[in-house]
Amino acid sequence: MRAARDTNWLQQLEQPQNSESNARNEDSSTPQDEKPQPEQTIEVPQEDVKVLEDLSTAQFAQDLVKLFNYGNGPSSNDANTATSPVIDDKPKRAQLHQEVRRIFKSRLETTTGHDGVIVANYVSPRKGKKSRGRRGQPGDDEPMGDYLHFTLYKDNRDTMDAANQIARLLRVKPQIIGYAGTKDRRASTTQRCSVRHQRKRALAGLNGKLWGISTGDYEYQEQPIHLGQLLGNEFVITLKNCKMAGETAAQSPSERLASMRNNVEPALKHMSSHGWINYFGHQRFGTHDVGTHQVGKLILGDDFEAAVNALLQYDPEIAAKAEAGQVPDEPSKKDDALRHLACMLFQTGKDLNRAVKVIPRRFAAESCILRHLTRMGKNSARDFAGAITHITRGLRSMYLHAYQSHVWNHAASQRYALHGNKVAKGDLVISDGETQPAAAERERDQDGDEVINPVEDEEDAPLRARALTEEEAASGKYTIYDIVLPSPGYDVIYPDNEIGQFYQEFMGREENGSLDPHKMRRLRREFSLPGRYRKLMQRFLVEPTVEFKLYEDDTEQMHPTDLDLINGAKKNGIQGKRKRDEDDRGPAKKIKADDGEGQAEAKMETANSEQDATSSNGAEANTETELPAEPTKIAVVVKFQLASSAYATVTLRELMGDRLDEATPSDEGVGNS
């Protein structure tokens, strides 16, 4: 079990408000003798309606007018949305966005989904007096800023997936949901997020509707949350059924636990003092047969057809079973099977239209590719470059960054193999006076909408580095913790030593794309990589802690999630209130309130006492045999904080050492577990 959170961001999650309670509160704030005002109808010029019809459909144009008028009426807070049919023409969508803003004076906000559907929402006025409650205070649900900040809790979902699901139900673009960093899928995590022009009630209403996702701790702010706006992450990770290299079956569980403690605690202290190589984690490279870095290599090499085929790779056996109707019931496994089926149907040409229908929505890259290649029949069937560019920006960036990370990891290994902890001539350090730049100016996407949270890597900030001279390397002013290595790009320099030459040789290999690290610009601007610098070594932000537990059941949860803590606190609060109520009623009233249940409980206790007494007369031996045996498995619960760019999986690998079948004696005092 694993939990992770943005440092200093954990707050309490909220439950969705009861609609009946909301209605009661709203009614109570309105005087009884106040009569409802007639809805105000605003005439939209017919020529403007014609413009909207030409860009979409007559129905959508009328829906926009109705939404605008309904929003201007007394029930504006309950205004619905208007949804267009699929519009594949990007220039037409961009023009439609602009015309809607002009015609309705920015009171309707439009967003485009991944499928080319435009959704319009009514935007309440932001200026003037805020709505007031009964006592003249701002309404509980009235926006006090353009951005609603909230805490996101998720279970077994990655951050982008959670953001996409929330955006889908809110009917907004995923890009307007901001977050400081991405959290792993295989974990229970909390992090702070923001969304533009939304109300608390709307977000709280999603609780219970999305599996593995909860939100709470709502607060309005004037600015959104951007990538990189966090100190780091705190992890609580449970390692179950841990074993030491070389342990024997003759050792008791207590002896094995003591041996584990004597190895793990010194290992953590060693890591705190010396650090470890700051590798990118394996999740950076995907879990499919074709890694994300391999797709990135093909894109950078302009081999778009091979990139498409890599993304649509499938297992023939799984696809055949799915085609025969043998699909697992478990949702995630079912989606995987349907993905293999859809890719097979397309790649073999069996049924292109069915492939588009079958592909699960959560496979965004495959969905975008299949839709694009089938949208115009033979005219689009070979447009592989267009298919790649139709993949969402975040995914496209992920493939390219994965290739950069692949190169960086190999360069880091080579650097440490050659020079170890010593500072060498030509090593790179960040130039004096360099600081993280301010957040970039807002930009517009292809549809003319503002991109609040451009999905880029949190390390894309353009810092400057320089190479150390021989004198500086020997001066003692710099340590291994100051050394940085670049990921390949057009806006970085490379080490002025053997490592710089390694970049050229490694990337130039055929299996690595035959690429040149000094030529990273591409005709398509989005595929041009500036590169960035990353610290060679990583250390804990604070001292880590570790617990050791004996257990037997692998399904036992060793550490509560943040949601468990909140639910537990609520439960304790309810039980505490019941206890106070019982104390107030007194014993006599409690018996009456029990309505006979107390007598039944007393009888049950008496029966149990008699049974215990009977058992004690001649069943002592049986009692001893029924006692649970001593647990034989060991769980290690580690808690640590890492900088935002560090990977917990890399930290665990450093702590645990080699696999048992590959274990070798350690000469640095780091035990293998």
The verdict on residue 371 lying in a domain is yes
Give the number of other Cβ atoms within 10 Å of residue 249's Cβ: 5
The angle at the Cα of 659, spanning 653 to 663, to the nearest 5 degrees, equals 110
**Pairing, β 545-551 against β 443-444:** unpaired
pLDDT for the residue 181: 86
Domain identity same for 83 and 14:
yes
> Does residue 68 sit in the same domain as residue 127?
yes
Whole-number Å distance between alpha carbons of 568 and 103 = 52
Per-residue pLDDT at 12 exceeds 50: no
In 420-551, which ranges are continuous DSSP H helix? 470-474, 498-508
The percent of residues in the chain predicted with pLDDT above 70, rounded, is 73
Among candidate residues 230, 257, 287, the one where a domain is terminated: 230
pLDDT of residue 602: 36
Residue 498 has pLDDT above 70, yes or no: yes
pLDDT band at 81 (very low <50, low <70, confident <90, very high): confident
Mean pLDDT of 418-422: 97
Q: Using one digit for the tens of pLDDT, what is the confidence trace for 568-588?
A: 776 666 555 555 455 555 544
Residue 21 has pLDDT above 90, yes or no: no
Chain-centre distance of CA 107, in angstroms? Answer: 32
Q: Which distant-in-sequence residues (6+ apart) come within 8 Å of 293 by Cβ?
A: 284, 285, 286, 399, 402, 403, 405, 406
Q: Is 332 found in the same domain as 404? A: no
pLDDT at 51 over 50: yes
User: What is residue 611's predicted lDDT score, i.e. its pLDDT?
Assistant: 42
Distance linking the first and last C-alpha atoms of the chain: 17
Task: Give buried/exposed letters for 581-606 (b at 16+ CB in 10 A, else e).
Answer: eeeeeeeeeeeeeeeeeeeeeeeeee
Asked, for residue 345, whether it belongs to a domain, the answer is yes
Residue 63's SS3 state is: helix
pLDDT confidence tier of residue 607, bands split at 50, 70 and 90: very low
Question: Mean of the per-residue pLDDT values for the chain?
Answer: 79
Query: What is the structure's pLDDT at 3?
Result: 54
Residues 94-104 have a mean pLDDT of 88
pLDDT given at position 143 = 58
Amino acid at 392: T
Residue 648 domain flag: no
| 385 lies in the same domain as 416 | no
Closest by Cα among 215, 185, 415, 425 to 282: 185
Do 380 and 485 lie in a common domain?
no
Print the domain residue range for 353. Answer: 312-391
Q: Give pLDDT, residue 111.
A: 81
**Distance between CA atoms of residues 337 and 341, nearest Å:** 6
Helical axes 331-347 vs 364-374, angle rounded to 10°: 30
Alpha-carbon Rg for the chain, nearest whole angstrom, is: 30
CATH number at residue 99: 3.30.70.3160
- pLDDT on residue 627: 54
Q: If pLDDT is split at 50, 70 and 90, which confidence band does 2 have?
A: low
Q: Which of 293-297, 378-382, 576-580, 587-591 has the highest mean pLDDT?
A: 293-297
Instruction: Look at residue 346 in the predicted model and tell me its pLDDT.
Output: 96
pLDDT at 28: 37
Closest CA to 288 of 211, 391, 398, 379: 398
Clarify whether residues 415 and 347 are in a common domain: no
Q: Residue 355 corresponds to which tokens in the numbers above? A: 């492939």
Identify the residue with better confidence: 625 or 277. Answer: 277
Mean pLDDT of 206-229: 90
Confidence of residue 142 (pLDDT cuts 50, 70, 90): low
* Residue 419 identity (one-letter amino acid): H
Closest by CA position to 232, among listed 646, 655, 650: 646
Looking at the structure, tell me whether residues 52 and 140 fall in a common domain. Answer: yes
Q: What percent of the chain stands above pLDDT 90?
A: 48
pLDDT reading at 214 higher than 80: yes
Reply yes or no on whether the pLDDT at 451 is more than 70: no
pLDDT reported for residue 388: 95
Q: Which residues pair with 444 in a beta bridge?
A: 450
Q: What angle (nearest 5°) sits at the alpha carbon of residue 159, between those of residues 157 and 161?
A: 65
Q: How far is CA 312 from the centre of its chain?
A: 24
Of 106 and 223, more confident = 223
User: Following DSSP, what letter does each residue of 19-37 receive, concatenated?
Assistant: HHHHHHHHHHTS-TTPPPP
Question: What pLDDT, on a 0 to 100 scale, did the predictor assign at position 332?
Answer: 82
Mean pLDDT of 653-673: 53
216 and 335 part of one domain: no
The answer to the question of residue 245 being in a domain is no
Per-residue model confidence (pLDDT) at position 72? 64
User: What distance in Å separates the CA atoms of residue 322 and residue 69, rounded to the nearest whole number?
Assistant: 49
In sequence order, which residues have a C-beta less than 8 Å from that of residue 42 and are 6 or more positions away?
Answer: 68, 69, 72
Q: What is the mean pLDDT of residues 490-512?
A: 97
pLDDT at residue 225 greater than cutoff 80: yes
Which pLDDT belongs to residue 473?
A: 96
Write out the DSSP string of 643-667.
ETT--HHHHHHHHH-S-GGG----S
Alpha helices in 480-561 (DSSP H): 498-508
Does the residue 151 lie in any domain? Answer: yes
Closest CA to 14 of 147, 153, 187: 153
Q: What is the pLDDT of residues 307-353, one digit of tens each?
A: 999 999 999 999 999 999 999 999 889 999 999 999 999 999 999 99
Among 391, 426, 445, where does a domain finish? 391
85 phi, psi to nearest 5 deg: -70, 175
- Tell me the C-alpha distance between 57 and 68, whole Å: 17
Tell whether 575 is covered by a domain. Answer: no
Q: Could you tell me if 546 and 264 are in contact, meaning their C-beta atoms sit under 8 angstroms apart?
A: yes
Task: Report pLDDT for 408.
Answer: 98
* pLDDT for residue 122: 81
Specify if 429 maps to a domain. Answer: yes
pLDDT at 4 (0 to 100):
54
Separation CA 8–CA 372 (nearest Å): 43
* Statement to judge: residues 51 and 191 lie in one domain: yes
Specify the residue for token string 């890492």.
Answer: 642
- Show which of 538, 567, 599 is a domain's final residue: 538
- State the average pLDDT over residues 401-428: 97
249 part of a folded domain: no
Domain holding 513: CATH number? 3.30.2350.20
Please tell me whether residues 136 and 82 are part of one structural domain: yes
Residue count of the chain, please give it: 673
The total of structural domains in the chain comes to 3
Closest CA to 297 of 400, 386, 387: 400
> Which among 531, 503, 497, 529 has a CA at the least distance from the CA of 517?
503
Give the pLDDT band of residue 92 (cuts 50, 70, 90): confident
Rounded Cα distance between 659 and 672, Å, is 8
Shared domain for 69 and 183, answered yes or no, is yes
- Tokens found for residue 495: 């080490």
- Determine the pLDDT at residue 593: 37
Q: 232-239 and 450-451: which strand pairing?
A: unpaired
Report the half-sphere exposure of 614 (CA within 13 A, side-chain side).
6
Q: Residues 57, 191: one domain?
A: yes
Bridge partners of 120?
Answer: 82, 110
pLDDT at position 87: 83
pLDDT at 78 over 80: no
Check pLDDT > 50 for residue 128. Answer: no
The pLDDT of residue 659 is 59
- Residue 8 has a CB neighbour count (10 Å cut-off) of 11
